[in-house]
Amino acid sequence: MSEEQRQTIADKFGIVTVEGHLLTPHNQCFLVAQSEINFSIVGGFQQWKKACRVVRKGEHGFLIFVPSKAKQEENSEIISDDENVHFFTATVFDISQTEVIAKSEAA
C-alpha cells in the first residue's frame, strides 16, 4: 500500500487498527498529540507480527487507552457494566514504522 493510499484511508475513516476497527476520537487525538506522524493504520507489536509485518528496529511506539472489563467474583453483587470497565495503556505502531516480513525470516 502506498503512502497516498494510506493517507486516503486515514482521511476517509480516521485512524484504524490492523483489524480494521476505528479508534475512538479520544485515542485519535491522543496519537496526533504524541507525534507529527500522519497515522493511518496502527497496531501492537504482536498484531503486526500476525499481519506478517515487523516493527523496524529503533522505532518508538505510541500510547492509546484500551478498555478492559474487570472479572466479577461469583458471590459479588451484580454491578452495572459501566462500573466494571477499566482502562490501561497499550503501545501501538503506525504501518509506516513497519515492514513486510521477508519469506526467509518467516521460515
pLDDT digits (tens, 9 = 90+) for 81-91: 566 889 999 99
Residue 54 has, within 13 A of its CA and on its CB side, a CA count of: 9
Domain ranges of the chain: 3-106
pLDDT digits (tens, 9 = 90+) for 56-75: 999 999 999 998 887 766 66
Three-class DSSP category at 89: strand
N-term to C-term CA, the chain? 24
This model's pTM is above 0.85: no
CB atoms within 10 A of CB 38: 14
